[in-house]
Amino acid sequence: MGQIANPTSVTLSTSNGVVYLSWSNGDAYTSVIIYRNTSNSQVRLTEINGAPTSFQDQPGSGTFYYWVQGHIYIPGYTDDYGIKYPAQNLYSD
């Protein structure tokens, strides 16, 4: 398996307590995994099957960091392959 392309053009916006994430898929993902945490360490929030390009969340008040990971499942492998974007963390206040 070659390297999986990163999601690109990841953006985050907020409105009335809702966080809106959007991105462009860099590969033919079988799913996208969203991570969120109140500190700069990743905690898996959800996995969305298919190749979505957006996600909405209502995390409550505070600062939250978000990560987007493109994921490709390959039958017969013990590990799934994925790559996280961005190198810098997205957050909302």
pLDDT for 47: 94
pLDDT in tens, 4-30: 788 888 889 889 889 999 999 988 889
Is the pLDDT score of 55 beyond 90?
yes
Annotated domain spans of the chain: 8-92
CA-angle at 90, arms to 12 and 82, nearest 5°: 100
Answering whether pTM is above 0.75, one says: yes
Tell me the C-alpha distance between 47 and 49, whole Å: 6
CA distances from 91 to 35, 40, 48 (A): 11, 10, 20
Residue 54, classified by CB atoms within 10 Å of its CB into exposed (0-12), middle (13-18) or buried (19+), is exposed
For domain 8-92, which architecture applies?
A: Sandwich (2.60)
pLDDT in tens, 60-76: 888 888 888 888 887 77
Mean pLDDT computed over every residue of the chain:
81
